[in-house]
Amino acid sequence: MVPLPYYLVLSGILFACGVTGFLIKRNIITIFMSIELMLNGVNLSFVAFAAHWHALSGHVFVFFVMVVAAAEAAVGLAIIIAVYRTRETLNVDQVNLLKL
């Protein structure tokens, strides 16, 4: 059995990777993926704790997060496509105007 701190450290590393990616990347899709990474890092800690404490609510939370993440991915990717159609770029630094 893998001890709990291992999962938590991995979760922290994943989350930190997500934050770093979010902060330093220019490409919208990469940023989007970083957000997903952060969500999944959190998910990992949820399931780790749930398994450790034998509590079902942790598992339920993870499902909720995955549902929300899926919905977010659908909306987010649609927006990204719309942005690319109008701006012909995915560089966030060039997408700084709400209205053209």
Interacting residues with other proteins (CB under 8 A):
19, 22-23, 92, 96
Phi, psi of 27 (to 5 degrees): -75, 130
Q: In the bound complex, what is the minimum distance in angstroms from residue 60's beta carbon to other proteins?
A: 25
Give me the DSSP letters along 38-84. Answer: HHHHHHHHHHHHHHHHT-HHHHHHHHHHHHHHHHHHHHHHHHHHHHH
Nearer to other proteins, 18 or 58 (CB): 18
Instruction: Give the end-to-end CA distance of the chain in Å, rounded to a whole number.
Output: 56
Q: In the bound complex, what is the minimum distance in angstroms from residue 63's beta carbon to other proteins?
A: 25
- Cβ neighbours around 80 below 10 Å, total: 17
Nearer to other proteins, 2 or 23 (CB): 23
Nearer to other proteins, 19 or 51 (CB): 19
Q: In the bound complex, what is the minimum distance in angstroms from residue 19's beta carbon to other proteins?
A: 5
